[in-house]
Each structure stands twice: as structure tokens, then as C-alpha cells.
């Protein structure tokens, strides 16, 4: 834990008025030529050393993508993306088969990680956290593989899993998010370059929190991660995902797919603290973040909880979804979405209740400031067989300033009479009374706002594993800078 | 215009001809008041007389328009200071209706406030452990259940608990001038005793207290040096502690219509 | 031919048939020859030509598929005497209420059935056809506005085809002692009734309005009613709407209300009838301190599909709005509630609250809800809540433990659920009427 806390402290200390991760590393990169066609897909597959069935799957997805049209119904407005004007694969060159230990990792890379506040060496020695550090579409170092392997836990880059554990991958890849699911997921299925693969065997409680850091570096490289996490019967795993990105002028595309599967009595806890570059005060240059995340509670009494803090991205389009198939399964969604300046977020969740006696809780907190637009869009659906389904949803929006907007659009579909669905939403601002009370006790207006906003988010932040919670709190403060006054 | 004994030192608070309007409506119509260090003043008055307005203007709440007059605090123009600046200079306002702040634990709020004041005074910040020690000790004195400290500020507190929490904050912040707005409302006898104990412990040659109250009862516990009657936006009568008993006997109407001091 | 192509073809044929109808009927419509009115009807026909009927892909119709309505092309019923007399009317109107009454049968105004005597000074009540024939220009301001560009297909068709409707105009400062009732009866002919109603309340006017839809026979007819209400500064309108169409009928209603400064509009809608019914309300609070209350109760059974869709736009500061809708759905019926509250940037000080609850009585009943908040001003208090479920088991047990049998207990609880919103009908006689209608529905609801 200690090193992770250190990491968080370092991360926190780096925060201030400027986006501190705004730097670029000069590393030789192997890139596919610009543009996207079947040969790009083949190039990626070859670079990854994939078996034929994997290339086939990618090509099926690519061909399907050509028949699809981009969705445009969200409230976000963005200039059209030219999919041919981007690089789809950029990986740091590696000598031989890749690093066997940290000693073999390119020292430039290690220095980059240090700047990011990930003292890998320290982590390996002190921490209980295994880190799969994703850098420009290739996982460079994976620590603690050995220890996890003893317990039968597989935690490795997905490209490795495709090679080393093909049966598992074939069984589960695309089983929760089929390649034809939606425009961005289909694109991802064709050109995904890396991501994490986790398999926890029956009855195993993964002893450490698994975490991954992402970073987008080379200009115009969209990052397409594919993550697959499987918790077998009676197992438990907690996965942390935290991201940073450097300053760029061109918008960068991020279209990830995450699939989670829980079997009987298993539990996956997935936490995200996202800190993409949001664009400057005029909204220029930030990350486009279109993510498809879905969890299937296949087994009885299984549970998936998603906790996320979103504070970056020029545009965020993200709806983690839950399929509550197993009887008694539970879905929990806790989210804080913060938008400032000219950011736009259209996020929410979908809970599909299928099995009997399933339960879901949605707590979504949105904070808008500057000229930002923050929309919660959620779906709670109880299918005809969902006897005894229970949902409780609470969406609260906080507006800082009078030029931003907060929108709540929940869709509720109940097809079973014994299902009970409750939804509440409120929108408000920080009351003058609250502000005055804090100031009369000696706190500055900025500190007061920060404190009240953190109080507003507390219900969600306290769901995060401790080290993330600290980083998240600082992130909340940084993202709202300039919004008071 | 009256002041207590020991007038040789500079006044703590000097209000001269203060006129205040709220939403265009005049509420305070020429308040004159001098509070010297070490004194406890009581301001009594019927509902609508402007007592709370006075308290809020002193603390710097927006929405109160000063149309004439001055307020000097320790010789400085108080009206020119922001609310947190006044607080850091040692002004404490005990609110009549303390606000709830969901999600913000009382103890965290207080630590931030106490440290803000300490830093302003050139003292170092207290870390979490030291602050907690201090908070616990004071909580004990005021018979406040420690568990309340961990709860979000004032959320779900009874009226009496909120008022005791105000005094608790006062004790921790150690102000020079405490203005307490109807602190006694909603308190039973036991709570009153404890709260009065907290206030009385604060009394000293360098500190002053202004008690705003509707009823005389509080003044049995916190004996004032001077009592003022506020009616129709003006101080119409001032006197010693016996004035409070007169109010109880005769009511405000009679006294207010009597000659101004 | 694929199903999609078949559907597209049918949609085109359908659209073309209605356009032909509009072209053929235009010369016979009241006010034909009046420049602005002809142009307006032509514009409306163009709009319908462009967009046709809505489909599930339209966001506003995501839960309600109007396709059943498009299986036949329905023509307006001819105006003819059809043996409806005054005795038939009483069961549709609240007992003991002496209202000024206009009656329409199959979409045509029937002076002989109406009660227009003793109208107070400053009140004009009558049929739209007559008004457009005799004094069309007084309707120009209300009917000829550019909201047309955003109209849905059915509303555009209404603008092109409407031959009649109720017109109520109340002069400034007039307060009506007796309520006004608009009664629309379907005789049972499978026809389309395009009704255009206009209510204009002058500054400081006060009135109570009752709008009733009823049927004398069961058939798959179509009521397509569009109502424009203007509530001027300081005016206050209470509006009770009772939709009791025949079980096989289609009912699409669009009500548009505009409130001026300190204007008050209180509406209660009881929805009982129709195979497919949609009650769309759009209220724009344009003046400061406007007050808009939209409440309702919908009761669905068999295979009914009952849709309530509301939009409240707060455009000026200090407005207040409240919505309280309850639904009870039985058998294979489906209830839909969509409520959108939009607070525009200048509408500081808005207080807007919405509550929608639904009770499911059978295994096959279904509820869809989409309560929406779009807030662009920060000094506001806005909230919404939506809940759906079945009768509370604990409450049921409590009643039974006190000796009440299960059947009766269920009825009591469902009744209590409905009563909570019926309470919001202000006038006692009207409230009692709504209560009775709901009670008789509940008495025959599934056990």
C-alpha cells in the first residue's frame, strides 16, 4: 500500500494551475502508416504476433464497421472525426522479445514513468500492487506476474493472453460486448492494440489491487484498449484504472472496450479515476473519450461495482452497463462527472435486470462549471422475468456559475410487476448560506467551494480504494479551478 | 450611547450611525454602539427589530446594504473586509439557523477553519492528530458526543445540538469578538448551562461578547455588563443587567415607546 | 421485398393518402380564401409531407409506436344529424356543475346541444368553424405562429385538416363564476376528427375549463386534437381534462400553453380510454413568476397504451412548476410518462419539481418513464422523482392483519394511490367527479 500512497501523493503534488502531465517523451516509435483499411488491421495483428482466428475476428469487425454510421444523438457537439487522418498503431520499438525485467526496460521509458509518478521499482519492492503499465499501445512492464501466477491469477496484457491463453480469450472476448455492438466498439474490435486481461480462478480472492496506467503519446494516435476481466466462481478482484495524457493541439480519440464477467458468487470491483486533458479554456485540443464498458453478472449472487471519477476529456461518451442475469446478482454504479470550461460530458449507466431478485444502485453526481455541459443519461430496465428486481437511482447535479448546464435523462422501463424502481434527481447550486457559513469560519471562498464540492461527491469518493480516493479528491479540486468567482 | 467600565483601552467594536437596508427596505435606522474589550453586551428586542440584521452585517453577509454609518473593529474599517478576513481577525458569528453541509464531516470542516485562523495569526497549522486531541478535549467540556463530530456538519442535528455545535466551534476558534445570534433558542436548561459555561470560559480582558437574545433567561447564566433594547431598527434604551429584568416584567412595547437613552 | 422496405412503402402510401385528403378538403375548410389561413394550411401540409408520422426512432416517441394508427387512412366524418340528443350528454359531465357548454359530435360543433346562454360580458365561446368563417382575423395571432416549424406529423396534419374546434376568449379582468366545458363525442363512426381548440385568457382573467372526450359507440376512430392556450399576465386558468375515448379508438392530443407574467395554469388530466392515447402538453413560462401545475392520473387495462408527455420551459425568472402524475396499469396495458423540465439561462430563481409514480397490477403490465431535467441556470431548485412497482406487500399485510380481506385491501391501497393525486383537483364538484370515474375503473380492475 505504501508505494501506492506515495504515488498518489506524488500525483497530488503535481497538480496545480497547469495540467502537469503536459509533456511528451521522444522515443523511437514503430507506426502503421496513417489511415485505416484492411491492411492496417493485418499490420496490427502481425505486430502483435496473433493467431489466425484473432485476425479473422478483427477483420469481421472492420468489415462490419464500414457498414455502420456514427451515432449523433447525444447532446455533445464535436467536429467530425476523420478516421483516415490518424495513426492506428504506434509502439515503442523493442529489442528482441521485450523486457524480462525492469532492468531491461528502456531507461527513457522508466524516466517517463517516474515523471508520471509511477515508481515501478519501488512498487515492485514495497507495494502490494501489480502494475501493467500501458504506454502507447504496448504493455512494457508487468510486475508481480509471478506471485499472482502462484495463485492461478492471470494478469497480463491482452496481447499476451491471446497468445498464451487462447481458450480463455476465445470463450469470453466479445461475449459481453459483441463486435457489432456499436460504432466505437466495432472500431475497437478491429484495431485494439492492447489492454489488460485478468482471470481469477474459482474461490480465489485476488490479494492485491490490480492497476493500470494509460497514456497516449504520439500525435494522432487513437488509443484503443481492450480489457477483459473474468472472475470465476466465488472469486474476487479489485481493478483500478487511472489515466493521464499530455497536451496536444489535435484532438485525440480514445475508444476503449471493457468486458467484465462474474460467475456464481464472484465479485469484480472496478474503479476509474480519469484525468484526460480537457482542452484549454476554449475547448481546443482535448481527448475524445468514447468508451463501451459492460459487465455481465452471469452467475447467481454475483456482483459488479463500478466507481468512476471523470474529470477530463473534451468529450466523454461513456455508459458502463450491467447485465444482471444471475439470480440475486447485484450491480452498483457510483460516479462523479466534472465538467469545466467548455467540456461536454454525456455519461450514465444502463442496468438491465434479467434474473430474479436482482438489485442495482446508481449514485451519479455531476458538477458543471464554466460553460460546460454535463448530461446524465441512464437506463434502468426490468425485463419480464425479473421478479423482485430492485433499483434505486439518485442523480444530483451541482452547478457552479450561471453559464453551464446540467441535464438528467433517465429512461425507466419496467416490464415486471414485482420489480421496484425508484429514481430521484436534484439540481442545485452551492447555496449562499453554505458559502457564507464557511467564510465566517475563516475559510476562503475557493476553499469553501472545494470543501462543499468534495462533500457533495463524498458518497462516491468513499467507494474508491484509498489511494485512488486521495488522488480523486485532488483531481476534483484541480478540475474546478477558475470556476469560482 | 453607553459603554461599560474600563474605558481607557481602545474599543473592540464601534458602530456609528449605522443604517442598513435589505431589498430596499430600511431595517437598521441609526445604530450607535461601543463595545470595549472585556465586556459582554446583550441586545434584546422584539421580532423584526433588526437584531439578526445587525449580526449578519457585522459578519459581512451579502444582501445587506449599508446606506450610512461606519463600523470599526479594533480601529479598522470592518465593512471593507471580506467575511473570512473578519473571521481570521477574530470575529465569530454564532448563527441563529446553522446551515447543514452534506458530506463534509464536522471535524474536517473545523480543522480547516481553525488552521486558516492559526496561519493568519502566524501560528503553525495543527495536524490531524493534534487537532483531534484539541477537539476531543473541548467537546468533553461542552458535553458534546464525539460521534457528532464525525457526522456531516449539522446534518440531522436537533436545534439544540446545532446551537451547542456553534459554541463548540467558537471555543475552538478562540475569537476576540463573539456575536451570538439567539444562541439560547431551542435549548433546554441543561444545554443552556453547558453553552453558557462555554461562553463564560471565553470571558477575559481581551475578549468581548455580544449576545443577541429575545428572552431574559440566557442572561441569568451569562451576566452582561450592558443591556441594549433594539426596537424599530434603533437602540432605544441601554442600561445595566437589571434592564433585562425590566423587559421581562414590562415587555418590549412599553420600553420601546419610552425615551431613548 | 424486405419488411423494412414494405414498411417504408406503406408509410409513403399513407402519407400520400393524407396529403391527397388535405388537398381535396382544403376548399371546403372554413376560412378558405383568407390569405394567411390558406398559406398556413399549405405550410402545414408541406411539413407533413416532409416528416410524415413519427416513429420509434424519434426521441420523443421512443416508447410509443404510432404505427397501429397508420394501418388505415381515416377521413373526417361528414357533418350530419345523427340522433344524438341532450339526454345523452349528462353522463359525460360532472354532476351538479352548471357549465357554459360547447358540444362537438364527430368533430363538428353542435349548437343545438350546446349551452351558450348567459355568457358573461367579455366572454366569447363558440366553434372555430364559425369564427373562421365570420371573423377569421381575430384568430390570426393565435393560429399563425412559427412554432409550426417544429410541429410533429399529427400536429401538422391537424393544422392542414382541422375544420372545427372550441374557441374561448376571455377579456381582461373577467372572472367567470361558472366553468366552461368543451365536450367532444364520437358517435362510433370510424372517422378522423381533427380538432383545433383556442383558449385566450386576457390579463387578470380567471376561468375554470373542463375538456371531455367521450364515445357513444366503440370503433377505431381517431381524435387528433390540438389546443392552444394563452394565459396573459396575471390570468389564472384551471383546466380539467377527461379522456374517455372508446376502447378501440386512437387519441393524440397536443396542448400548448403560454404563460405571461404571474400567469397561472393548473391542469389535471384523467386518462382512461383509447387503444393508443397520447396526451402531450407543452407549457412555456414566458413571463416572470409564472406558475404551472400539471397533474394527472392514467388508468390502463387490456391492451391499452397510454402515453403522457410533458415539457415545461422556464424562460423567465422566478417561475414555479410542479408535476404530479400517477398511473395504474393492469392486464397487458402499457403506461408511458415522459416529463421534461427545461430551465433556460435567464430563468434564475426557478422552482421546479416533478413526481411520477406508477403501479403495476399484473404480470404483463408495463411502465416506461423518462423524467428529464435540462438546467442551464444555477440559482434554481429543481428535482424530479419517478418510481414504479406493485402494491406494497407490507401495507397489504397490515390491512389484512386488521381483518380486511385481500381483495378489499388491494382495492383500498390502489384507491389510496390514485386519490393522492386526485386531491390536486381544486374544485370539490370536479374532484368528486374524477374520483367517481377512477373508482368505477378500479372496481373492475384485476384482482
Neighbours of A388 (CB within 10 A): 17
- Search chain A and give the residue with CA nearest C336: A413
CATH T-level fold of B5-104+174-260? Rossmann fold (3.40.50)
Domain boundaries, chain B: 5-104+174-260
Of the residues A442, A455, A463, the best mutation for testing chain B's interface (the one with the most B CB atoms within 10 Å of its CB) is A442
Of the partner residues B60, B83, B104, the one whose CB lies closest to the CB of residue A451 = B104
For residue C77, what pLDDT is reported? 85
Q: Do chains A and C touch (3 or more CB pairs under 8 A)?
A: yes
* Selected residue with higher pLDDT from C16 and C243: C243
Of the partner residues A436, A456, A459, the one whose CB lies closest to the CB of residue B83 = A436
- Expressed in angstroms, the distance from the first to the final Cα of chain C is 46
Asked if A452 and A463 count as a contact pair (C-beta separation under 8 A), the reply is: no
Q: What is the pLDDT of residues B153-209, one digit of tens each?
A: 888 888 888 888 999 999 999 999 999 999 888 788 888 888 899 999 989 999 999
CA distance A461 to chain C (A): 23
Which residues in chain A have their CB less than 8 angstroms from residue B116's CB? 441-444, 447
Q: What is the pLDDT of residues C396-432, one digit of tens each?
A: 777 777 777 788 888 888 988 999 899 999 999 999 9
CA distance A206 to chain B (A): 31
For residue A102, what pLDDT is reported? 58
In this complex, the chains that touch B, judged by 3 or more CB pairs closer than 8 A, are A
Of the partner residues C62, C369, C377, the one whose CB lies closest to the CB of residue A402 = C377
A86 in B contact zone (CB under 8 Å)? no
Of the residues A346, A412, A415, A424, the best mutation for testing chain C's interface (the one with the most C CB atoms within 10 Å of its CB) is A412
The CA–CA distances, whole Å, from C341 to B109, B118, C284 equal: 35, 47, 10
Asked if A440 and B83 count as a contact pair (C-beta separation under 8 A), the reply is: yes
For residue C235, what pLDDT is reported? 97
Where b means 16+ CB within 10 Å and e means fewer, C169-178 reads bbbeebebeb
For residue A282, what pLDDT is reported? 63
C-alpha cell at C339: 416529463
For residue A481, what pLDDT is reported? 65
Which residues in chain A have their CB less than 8 angstroms from residue B63's CB? 432
Q: Do chains B and C touch (3 or more CB pairs under 8 A)?
A: no
Of the partner residues A408, A420, A426, the one whose CB lies closest to the CB of residue C389 = A420
Q: What is the pLDDT of residues C360-392, one digit of tens each?
A: 999 999 999 999 999 998 888 898 999 999 888
Of the partner residues A441, A452, A457, the one whose CB lies closest to the CB of residue B173 = A441
C-alpha cell at C293: 401545475
d(CA C310, CA C322): 11
Alpha helix positions (H), C235-392? none
pLDDT in tens, chain A (485 residues): 233 333 333 333 333 223 344 444 444 455 666 678 888 899 889 888 899 999 999 999 999 999 998 876 455 556 666 676 666 665 544 433 334 455 655 555 455 445 445 545 443 432 333 445 444 444 434 456 667 778 899 988 888 899 999 999 999 999 999 999 888 899 999 999 878 899 999 999 987 778 754 433 333 345 788 999 999 999 999 998 765 444 343 446 778 899 999 999 999 999 987 766 555 666 566 667 788 999 999 999 999 999 988 876 667 777 889 999 999 999 999 999 888 777 777 888 999 999 999 999 999 999 988 888 888 989 999 999 999 999 999 999 999 888 888 899 999 999 999 999 999 998 888 888 889 999 999 999 888 888 888 889 888 888 887 767 777 777 777 667 666 54
Angle CA B168–B172–B175, to nearest 5 = 105
- Interchain proximity A424–C384, CB inside 8 Å: yes
For residue A167, what pLDDT is reported? 95
Q: Which of B1, B28, B34, B29 is nearest to B15 (CA)?
A: B34
A415 in C contact zone (CB under 8 Å)? yes
Q: Which of A7, A483, A12, A8 is nearest to A278 (CA)?
A: A483
In the block, residue with C-alpha cell 502483435: A48
- Expressed in angstroms, the distance from the first to the final Cα of chain B is 7
C-alpha cell at C10: 406503406
H-run or E-run covering B234? strand B234-239
- Search chain A and give the residue with CA nearest B102: A455
Residue C175 clears pLDDT 70, i.e. is over it: yes
Q: What is the pLDDT of residues A146-170, one digit of tens each?
A: 677 788 999 888 888 999 999 999 9
Asked if A172 and A197 count as a contact pair (C-beta separation under 8 A), the reply is: no
In this complex, the chains that touch C, judged by 3 or more CB pairs closer than 8 A, are A
- Interchain proximity A458–B173, CB inside 8 Å: no
Q: Which residues contact A13 (CB under 8 A, 6 or more apart)?
A: none
CA distance A439 to chain B (A): 5
For residue C10, what pLDDT is reported? 76
- Interchain proximity A440–B112, CB inside 8 Å: no
- Search chain C and give the residue with CA nearest A394: C385
Of the partner residues A434, A442, A456, the one whose CB lies closest to the CB of residue B113 = A442
Asked if B239 and B261 count as a contact pair (C-beta separation under 8 A), the reply is: yes
C-alpha cell at C5: 422496405
d(CA C262, CA C413): 38
d(CA B23, CA B90): 29
Asked if C400 and C279 count as a contact pair (C-beta separation under 8 A), the reply is: no
CB pairs under 8 A between A and C: 114
For residue B108, what pLDDT is reported? 82
Q: What is the pLDDT of residues B92-111, one digit of tens each?
A: 999 888 888 777 788 888 88
Of the partner residues A433, A434, A442, the one whose CB lies closest to the CB of residue B116 = A442
Residue C324 clears pLDDT 60, i.e. is over it: yes
For residue A200, what pLDDT is reported? 96
C380 in A contact zone (CB under 8 Å)? yes
Of the partner residues A397, A406, A423, the one whose CB lies closest to the CB of residue C385 = A423
Of the residues B113, B117, B157, the best mutation for testing chain A's interface (the one with the most A CB atoms within 10 Å of its CB) is B113
- Search chain C and give the residue with CA nearest A75: C374
For residue C81, what pLDDT is reported? 66
Q: What is the pLDDT of residues B11-39, one digit of tens each?
A: 999 999 999 999 889 999 999 999 999 99
List all residues of chain A from 35 to 74 with a beta carbon under 8 Å from chain C.
73
Which residues in chain C have their CB less than 8 angstroms from residue A391's CB? none
Of the residues A427, A428, A483, the best mutation for testing chain C's interface (the one with the most C CB atoms within 10 Å of its CB) is A427
Asked if C85 and C137 count as a contact pair (C-beta separation under 8 A), the reply is: no
pTM metric for this prediction? 0.76
Asked if B36 and B4 count as a contact pair (C-beta separation under 8 A), the reply is: yes
Which residues in chain A have their CB less than 8 angstroms from residue C387's CB? 420-423
Amino acid at each position: 500500500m505504501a508505494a501506492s500512497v506515495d504515488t498518489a501523493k506524488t500525483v497530488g503534488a503535481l497538480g496545480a494551475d497547469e495540467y502537469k502531465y503536459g509533456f511528451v517523451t521522444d522515443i523511437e516509435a514503430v507506426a502503421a502508416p496513417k489511415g485505416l483499411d484492411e491492411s492496417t488491421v493485418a499490420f496490427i495483428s502481425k505486430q502483435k504476433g496473433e493467431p489466425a482466428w484473432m485476425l479473422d475476428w478483427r477483420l469481421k469487425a472492420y468489415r462490419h464497421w464500414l457498414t455502420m454510421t456514427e451515432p449523433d444523438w447525444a447532446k455533445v457537439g464535436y467536429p467530425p472525426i476523420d478516421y483516415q487522418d490518424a495513426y492506428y498503431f504506434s509502439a515503442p520499438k523493442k529489442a528482441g522479445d521485450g523486457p524480462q525485467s525492469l532492468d531491461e526496460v528502456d531507461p527513457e521509458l522508466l524516466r517517463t514513468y517516474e515523471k508520471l509518478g509511477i515508481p515501478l521499482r519501488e512498487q515492485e519492492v514495497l507495494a502490494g500492487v501489480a502494475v501493467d503499465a500501458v504506454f502507447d499501445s504496448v504493455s512494457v512492464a508487468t510486475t508481480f506476474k509471478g506471485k499472482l501466477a502462484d495463485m492461478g491469477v492471470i494478469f497480463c496484457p491482452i496481447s499476451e493472453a491471446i497468445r498464451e491463453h487462447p481458450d480463455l480469450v476465445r470463450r469470453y472476448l466479445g461475449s459481453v460486448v459483441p463486435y457489432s455492438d456499436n460504432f466505437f466498439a466495432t472500431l475497437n474490435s478491429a484495431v485494439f492494440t492492447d489492454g489488460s486481461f485478468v482471470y481469477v480462478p474459482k474461490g480465489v480472492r485476488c490479494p492485491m489491487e490490480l492497476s493500470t496506467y494509460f497514456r497516449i503519446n504520439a500525435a494522432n494516435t487513437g488509443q484503443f484498449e481492450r480489457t477483459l476481466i473474468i472472475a470465476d466462481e466465488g472469486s474476487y478482484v479489485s481493478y483500478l484504472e487511472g489515466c493521464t495524457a499530455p497536451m496536444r493541439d489535435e484532438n485525440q480519440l480514445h475508444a476503449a472496450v471493457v468486458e467484465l464477467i462474474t460467475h456464481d458468487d464472484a465479485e469484480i470491483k472496478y474503479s476509474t479515476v480519469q484525468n484526460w486533458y480537457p482542452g484549454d479554456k476554449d475547448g481546443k485540443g482535448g481527448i475524445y473519450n468514447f468508451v463501451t464498458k459492460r459487465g455481465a453478472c452471469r452467475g447467481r449472487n454475483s456482483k459488479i461495482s463500478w466507481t468512476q471519477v471523470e474529470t477530463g476529456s473534451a468529450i466523454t461518451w461513456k455508459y458502463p452497463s450491467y447485465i444482471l442475469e444471475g439470480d440475486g446478482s447485484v450491480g452498483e454504479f457510483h460516479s462523479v462527472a466534472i465538467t469545466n470550461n467548455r467540456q461536454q460530458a454525456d455519461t450514465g449507466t444502463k442496468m438491465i435486470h434479467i434474473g430474479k431478485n436482482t438489485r442495482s444502485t446508481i449514485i451519479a453526481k455531476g458538477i458543471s462549471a464554466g460553460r460546460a455541459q454535463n448530461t446524465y443519461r441512464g437506463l434502468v430496465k426490468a425485463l419480464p422475468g425479473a421478479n423482485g428486481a430492485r433499483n434505486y437511482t439518485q442523480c444530483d447535479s451541482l452547478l457552479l456559475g450561471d453559464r453551464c448546464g446540467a441535464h438528467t435523462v433517465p429512461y425507466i422501463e419496467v416490464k415486471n410487476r414485482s420489480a421496484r424502481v425508484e429514481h430521484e434527481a436534484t439540481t442545485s447550486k452551492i447555496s449562499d448560506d453554505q458559502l457564507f457559513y464557511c467564510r465566517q469560519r475563516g475559510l476562503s471562498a475557493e476553499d469553501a467551494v472545494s470543501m462543499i464540492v468534495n462533500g457533495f461527491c463524498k458518497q462516491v469518493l468513499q467507494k474508491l480504494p484509498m489511494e485512488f480516493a486521495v488522488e480523486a479528491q485532488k483531481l476534483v479540486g484541480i478540475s474546478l479551478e477558475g470556476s469560482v468567482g | 450611547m453607553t459603554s461599560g467600565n474600563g474605558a481607557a483601552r481602545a474599543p473592540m467594536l464601534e458602530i456609528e450611525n449605522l443604517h442598513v437596508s435589505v431589498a430596499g427596505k430600511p431595517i437598521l435606522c441609526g445604530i450607535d454602539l461601543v463595545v470595549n474589550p472585556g465586556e459582554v453586551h446583550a441586545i434584546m428586542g422584539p421580532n423584526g427589530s433588526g437584531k439578526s440584521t445587525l449580526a449578519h452585517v457585522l459578519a459581512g453577509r451579502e444582501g445587506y446594504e449599508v446606506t450610512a454609518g461606519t463600523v470599526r473593529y479594533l480601529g479598522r474599517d470592518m465593512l471593507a473586509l471580506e467575511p473570512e478576513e473578519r473571521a481570521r481577525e477574530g470575529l465569530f458569528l454564532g448563527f441563529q439557523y446553522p446551515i447543514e453541509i452534506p458530506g463534509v464531516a464536522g471535524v474536517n470542516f473545523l480543522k480547516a477553519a481553525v488552521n486558516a485562523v492559526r496561519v493568519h495569526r502566524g501560528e503553525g497549522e495543527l495536524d490531524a492528530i493534534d487537532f483531534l486531541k484539541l477537539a476531543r478535549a473541548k467537546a468533553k467540556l461542552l458535553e458534546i458526543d464525539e460521534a457528532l463530530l464525525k457526522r456531516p456538519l449539522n446534518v440531522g442535528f436537533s436545534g439544540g445540538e446545532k446551537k451547542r455545535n456553534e459554541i463548540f466551534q467558537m471555543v475552538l476558534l478562540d475569537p476576540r469578538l463573539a456575536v451570538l445570534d439567539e444562541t439560547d433558542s431551542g435549548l433546554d436548561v441543561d444545554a443552556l448551562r453547558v453553552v453558557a459555561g462555554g461562553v463564560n470560559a471565553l470571558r477575559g480582558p481581551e475578549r468581548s461578547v455580544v449576545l443577541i437574545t429575545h428572552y431574559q433567561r440566557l442572561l441569568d447564566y451569562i451576566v452582561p455588563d450592558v443591556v441594549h433594547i433594539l426596537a424599530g431598527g434603533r437602540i432605544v434604551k441601554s442600561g445595566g443587567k437589571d434592564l433585562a429584568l425590566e423587559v421581562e416584567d414590562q415587555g418590549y412595547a412599553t420600553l420601546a415607546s419610552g425615551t431613548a437613552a | 421485398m424486405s419488411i423494412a422496405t414494405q414498411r417504408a412503402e406503406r408509410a409513403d402510401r399513407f402519407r400520400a393518402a393524407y396529403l391527397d385528403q388535405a388537398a381535396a378538403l382544403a376548399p371546403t375548410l372554413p376560412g378558405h380564401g383568407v390569405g394567411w389561413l390558406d398559406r398556413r394550411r399549405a405550410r402545414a401540409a408541406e411539413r407533413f409531407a416532409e416528416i410524415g408520422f413519427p416513429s420509434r426512432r424519434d426521441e420523443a416517441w421512443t416508447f410509443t409506436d404510432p404505427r397501429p394508427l397508420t394501418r388505415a387512412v381515416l377521413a373526417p366524418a361528414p357533418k350530419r344529424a345523427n340522433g344524438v340528443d341532450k339526454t345523452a350528454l349528462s353522463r359525460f359531465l360532472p354532476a351538479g356543475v352548471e357549465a357554459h357548454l360547447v358540444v362537438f359530435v364527430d368533430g363538428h360543433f353542435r349548437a343545438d346541444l350546446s349551452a351558450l346562454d348567459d355568457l358573461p360580458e367579455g366572454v366569447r365561446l363558440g366553434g372555430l368553424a364559425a369564427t373562421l368563417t365570420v371573423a377569421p382575423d381575430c384568430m390570426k395571432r393565435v393560429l399563425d405562429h412559427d412554432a409550426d416549424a417544429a410541429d410533429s406529423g399529427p400536429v401538422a396534419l391537424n393544422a392542414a385538416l382541422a375544420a372545427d374546434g372550441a374557441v374561448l376568449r376571455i377579456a381582461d379582468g373577467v372572472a367567470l363564476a361558472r366553468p366552461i366545458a368543451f365536450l367532444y363525442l364520437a358517435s362510433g363512426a370510424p372517422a378522423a376528427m381533427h380538432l383545433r381548440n383556442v383558449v385566450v385568457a386576457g390579463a387578470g382573467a380567471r376561468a375554470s375549463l373542463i375538456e371531455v372526450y367521450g364515445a357513444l359507440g366503440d370503433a377505431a376512430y381517431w381524435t387528433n386534437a390540438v389546443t392552444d392556450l394563452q394565459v396573459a399576465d396575471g390570468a389564472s386558468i384551471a383546466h380539467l381534462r377527461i379522456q374517455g375515448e372508446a376502447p378501440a379508438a386512437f387519441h393524440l392530443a397536443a396542448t400548448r400553453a403560454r404563460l405571461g407574467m404571474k400567469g397561472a395554469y393548473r391542469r389535471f388530466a384523467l386518462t382512461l380510454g383509447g387503444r393508443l392515447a397520447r396526451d402531450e402538453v407543452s407549457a412555456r413560462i414566458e413571463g416572470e413568476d409564472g406558475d404551472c401545475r400539471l397533474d394527472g392520473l392514467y388508468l390502463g387495462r387490456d391492451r391499452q397504451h397510454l402515453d403522457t408527455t410533458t415539457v415545461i420551459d422556464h424562460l423567465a425568472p422566478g417561475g414555479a412548476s410542479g408535476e404530479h402524475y400517477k398511473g395504474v396499469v393492469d392486464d397487458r396495458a402499457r403506461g408511458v410518462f415522459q416529463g421534461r423540465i427545461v430551465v433556460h439561462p435567464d430563468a434564475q430563481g426557478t422552482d421546479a419539481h416533478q413526481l411520477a409514480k406508477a403501479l403495476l397490477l399484473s404480470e404483463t403490465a408495463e411502465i416506461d418513464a423518462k423524467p428529464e431535467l435540462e438546467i442551464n441556470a444555477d440559482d434554481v431548485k429543481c428535482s424530479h422523482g419517478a418510481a414504479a412497482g406493485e402494491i406494497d406487500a407490507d401495507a397489504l399485510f397490515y390491512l389484512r392483519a386488521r381483518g380486511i380481506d385481500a381483495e378489499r385491501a388491494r382495492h383500498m391501497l390502489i384507491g389510496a394511490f390514485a386519490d393522492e393525486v386526485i386531491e390536486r383537483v381544486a374544485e370539490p364538484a370536479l374532484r368528486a367527479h374524477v374520483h367517481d370515474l377512477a373508482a368505477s375503473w378500479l372496481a373492475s380492475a384485476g384482482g
